[in-house]
Structure 1
């Protein structure tokens, strides 16, 4: 095959992959423990399911100032929700003066 044809096919494949978000997904390959102080910095949470492309269930915790998410055990989600609920109740008490 002519080198120009091969180059054109490769370019079209790269264009198709990048424009359709069909690239390699970023999966958590393991989970780890971390301090509860990390929960204060969480700005976004995503659930990773093992039924899709990724191999394990994990909770991706995106924090301010970090490029990569923390991969945590999905049971941490309950702790995070309790923490966020507690913080919201404290903010409401300070604003209204009522419990």
Structure 2
């Protein structure tokens, strides 16, 4: 009887860890600086990984269209992304007028 109870408790803990954020965090281990512009143009969103949390390094996670996993980029790539976005917005505004 005790073995059945222990098994149920272990299964419940496994489910709780799987369905919550209590699992092992997914951190970037290395970062890339040289990312092609055409890849940067396909970025849908990005988030910052802070080195002060569970992860060891600061990184910029780039979520690219048609890619399953995010790209781990150096935080300085964010400036390039912002400048690309502002260029696209300016070009769209010029096309409207």
TM-score norm. by structure 1 comes to: 0.89
- Supply the RMSD in Å over aligned alpha carbons: 1.4
Structure 2's unaligned 5+ residue stretches are none
1:22 aligns with 2:22: yes
Which residue does 2:90 correspond to in 1?
A: 89
Once the two structures are superposed, residues 11-31 of structure 1 have per-residue CA deviations (whole angstroms, 9 ceiling, x without a partner) of 111122133321111111100
TM-score norm. by structure 2 comes to: 0.91
Q: CA deviation at 1:35?
A: 1.1
Which residue does 1:31 correspond to in 2?
A: 31
Count of paired positions: 96
Report matched runs for 1:1-99 at 5 Å.
2-32=2-32, 33-95=34-96, 97=97
Structure 1's unaligned 5+ residue stretches are none
Q: How far apart, CA to CA, are the structure 2 residues paired with 1:93 and 1:7?
A: 65
